[in-house]
Amino acid sequence: MKVYEFKGFPNPTRVRLALAEKGLFDDVEFVQVNVPEGEHRQPAFLAINPSGAVPVLELDDGTQISECSAITEYLDHAKGEASLTGQNAKERALIAMMQRKVESGFLDAVAAYFHHATDGLGPDIETYQNANWGERQKEIALKTMGWMNDKLADQNYLAGDHFTVADITAMAGFDFAGFAQIETPANLTNLLAWRDRVAARPSTKIAA
Mean pLDDT by 10 residues, the chain (208 residues): 97 98 97 97 97 97 97 94 94 97 98 97 95 98 98 97 97 97 98 97 95
Find the farthest-apart pair of alpha carbons in the chain and give their distance in angstroms, rounded: 49
Cis peptide before 36 (omega within 30 of 0): no
Kindly give the interhelix angle for 165-179 and 108-117, rounded to the nearest 10 degrees.
20
Distance CA 89, CA 58 (A): 27
pLDDT at residue 79, as a whole number: 87
What pTM value is reported for the model?
0.96
SS3 for 48? coil
pLDDT at residue 80, as a whole number: 87
pLDDT at residue 35, as a whole number: 97
Buried b (16+ CB within 10 A) or exposed e, 126-150: eeeeeeeebebbbebbbebbeebbe
Domains of the chain from N-terminus onward: 2-78 (3.40.30.10), 89-207 (1.20.1050.10)
